[in-house]
Amino acid sequence: MNSLSDPSPVLIPIIALMIPIVSVIAIVVLKIVRLQLLHETIRQISASGQTVPSELLSEIVKTKASLNDR
Cα–Cα distance measured from residue 19 to residue 31, given in angstroms and rounded to the nearest whole number: 19
Average pLDDT of the segment spanning 40-62: 89
Say yes or no to pLDDT of 29 above 70.
yes
Q: Mean of the pLDDT values across residues 38-42?
A: 92
Q: Which of 42, 36, 67 is CA-nearest to residue 54?
A: 42
pLDDT of residue 20: 96
36 pLDDT exceeds 80?
Answer: yes
pTM higher than 0.85: no
